Structure 1
């Protein structure tokens, strides 16, 4: 009977060891899953922040392009006016000379 009790205790200790190992693996898996969910949430937050920053950058780019087009138009207009004045000045010089 003592041998049977000793064997039963050894099997019980072995089963408890397996149970503890299983619980540890399960807890580690849950922790890992929680870490992955946290990482995913951080990545989604970063993606949302980057989308907002990209929208802002695109808005600034469109404003810059509009300003550049306006400046380019004004420079072409000024060049045309300067050329017109120079052409008129050249004609006046030829008539006088």
Structure 2
């Protein structure tokens, strides 16, 4: 998760730098179409990364809920085994 978060942050920073470059190139003779196309590609990549991050976070929450449920079930089972063992007469 941290890697995906870092990648999104890096992409946002790169997009900001690219947009600043586009603004500064508006007075130059560079092909603005190419720069704008690259900026749009970065925006699409960022959107995809954001969706992937959201999906990963949702999956993480699902897994945490399943782990909590399993932990509770295990706790109940342990308590039942202990109770059953205590209810039986001890043999010496």
Kindly indicate whether residue 75 of structure 2 is the aligned counterpart of residue 58 of structure 1: yes
Q: Which has the larger radius of gyration?
A: 1
Please report the RMSD computed on the Cα atoms of aligned residues, expressed in angstroms: 1.5
The TM-score with structure 1 as length reference comes to 0.61
Q: 1:64-86: CA deviations, max 9, x gaps?
A: 11111112xx125xx5xxxxxxx
CA–CA distance in structure 1, aligned partners of residues 31 and 82 of structure 2: 75
How many positions carry a matched residue from both structures? 64
User: Runs of 5+ in structure 2 lacking a partner?
Assistant: 1-28
Q: Which has the higher contact order (CA 8 A, sep 6+)?
A: 2
CA–CA distance in structure 2, aligned partners of residues 31 and 75 of structure 1: 63
